[in-house]
Amino acid sequence: MTSTAAQDFRFPSAVYGSRIARAAELARVAGLDGLVVTPGPDLRYLTGSRADTFERLTALVIAADGGQASIVLPRLELAALSQSAVGDLGVQVLDWVDGVDPYAIVAGLLPSRARVAVTDAMPALHLIPLADTLGALPILATAVVRELRMVKDGAEIDALRRAGAAIDRVHARMSEFLIVGRTEAEVGEAISAAIEEEGHTEAAFVIVGSGPHGADPHHEVSDRVIEHGDVVVIDIGGPVEPGYNSDSTRTYSMGEPSAEVAAQFAVLEAAQRAAVDAVRPGVTAESVDAAARNVLAAEGLAEVFVHRTGHGIGLSVHEEPYIVAGNDIELTEGMAFSIEPGIYFRGTWGARIEDIVVVTADGCESLNNRPHGLTVLG
């Protein structure tokens, strides 16, 4: 992608400016002197930058007092900076060359003995020398940044809608790819191509879990040949510009399923629907998890649901809020996350149903709209 194309997919500069200002405010409320954000989803959220982490430090420094933000980066990365919104935000650009200590530059932008938080994407390669220069170990900025990224604005929700529609189009074509006699790897390769054809910039992940492999929630693909009678879990997703992700799972049966499989899948479908129905502002994340889990438990399937019910999604495939027991955070309008209960019978078969939902004023909007039932192919 050219730099011009990258710029076309940024949000307006004012969006990033308000995000940086809000980050400074939240840092101040948290009792911090500043935030140091290295390349990754947090930097992309705050500036639109697609920079990568290298051995040379690039870091956005946000002072909690609301003063001018600064970005410290190698001089040889200045051209890449034009693909971000930094030039339109009044951010001070401090470039450095080999032989200069970039950690001293960062420390010089902060008060003496500053209490600093760093993004959780900062590698130890940079964290340790920064801590040595500051004279104190920074804390993680997760609690601050999650307050920014958890609640999506209208433009972000529109981007997630586009991503959801794009992955729905891939599931709608599954009969083209999922065929008896093909290996999981062959099916996965065809699905990956379709993910890009339908508007994603790449396939971030492709799970083709056939037969016993469907009982492994994080199976990817293998050389196993798909057979008649298999139940197949297809979990797929990827980013759509400007970088917001899709993630949707549907389960397929290669021929008519047995009565037992059909009955257990019907319970899973009811559990997923119960969790979606439970979503609304003010309820806790753990109560949504419980809504799915209780349906499965009532039918003796609690022990085969082995993971949380969902995860937040946005610039990262997995982010806050997590829909899991013990998470008492209250849902807020604009939060986006998956609802994806599953059942897994080790050595035989598994199934999962996953939609991305966005919390609305009185419930939620599902961004995935393909049929939820056990789709029979072949």
pLDDT in tens, the chain (378 residues): 233 334 457 799 999 999 999 999 999 999 999 999 999 999 999 999 999 889 999 999 999 998 999 999 999 999 988 889 998 999 999 999 999 999 999 999 999 889 999 999 899 999 999 999 999 999 999 889 999 999 999 999 999 999 999 999 999 999 999 999 999 999 999 999 999 999 999 999 999 999 999 999 999 999 999 999 999 999 999 999 999 999 999 999 999 999 999 999 999 999 999 999 999 999 999 999 999 999 999 999 999 999 999 999 999 999 999 999 999 999 999 999 999 999 999 999 999 999 999 999 999 999 999 999 999 997
Per the CB < 8 A criterion, the answer to whether 290 and 299 are in contact is no
The span from the CA of 325 to the CA of 305, in Å, is 13
Q: Can you give the pLDDT at residue 6?
A: 40
Residues near 158 by beta carbon (within 8 Å), at least 6 away in sequence: none
Residue from 113, 142, 164 nearest 26 by CA: 142
Using CA atoms, how far residue 295 sits from 116, 214, 343, 352, 364, in Å, is 45, 21, 12, 14, 20
Residue from 373, 368, 370 nearest 356 by CA: 368
Q: Can you give the pLDDT at residue 40?
A: 94
Per the CB < 8 A criterion, the answer to whether 276 and 360 are in contact is no
Q: Can you give the pLDDT at residue 168?
A: 98
Half-sphere exposure of 38 (CA within 13 A, CB side): 24
Q: Can you give the pLDDT at residue 3?
A: 34
Q: Could you tell me what percentage of the chain is helix, strand and coil, using 3-state DSSP and rounding each to the nearest 5?
A: 40, 25, 40
Q: Can you give the pLDDT at residue 80?
A: 86
CB atoms within 10 A of CB 228: 10
**Token output for 377:** 């192919």
Crossing angle of helices 142-149 and 13-29, rounded to 10°:
140
Q: Go through the domains of the chain in sequence order and give each one's CATH number.
A: 3-149 (3.40.350.10), 154-377 (3.90.230.10)
3-state DSSP call for residue 141?
coil
Residues near 157 by beta carbon (within 8 Å), at least 6 away in sequence: 334, 336, 358
Q: Can you give the pLDDT at residue 152?
A: 97
Amino acid in position 237: G
The span from the CA of 376 to the CA of 137, in Å, is 55
Q: Can you give the pLDDT at residue 283?
A: 98
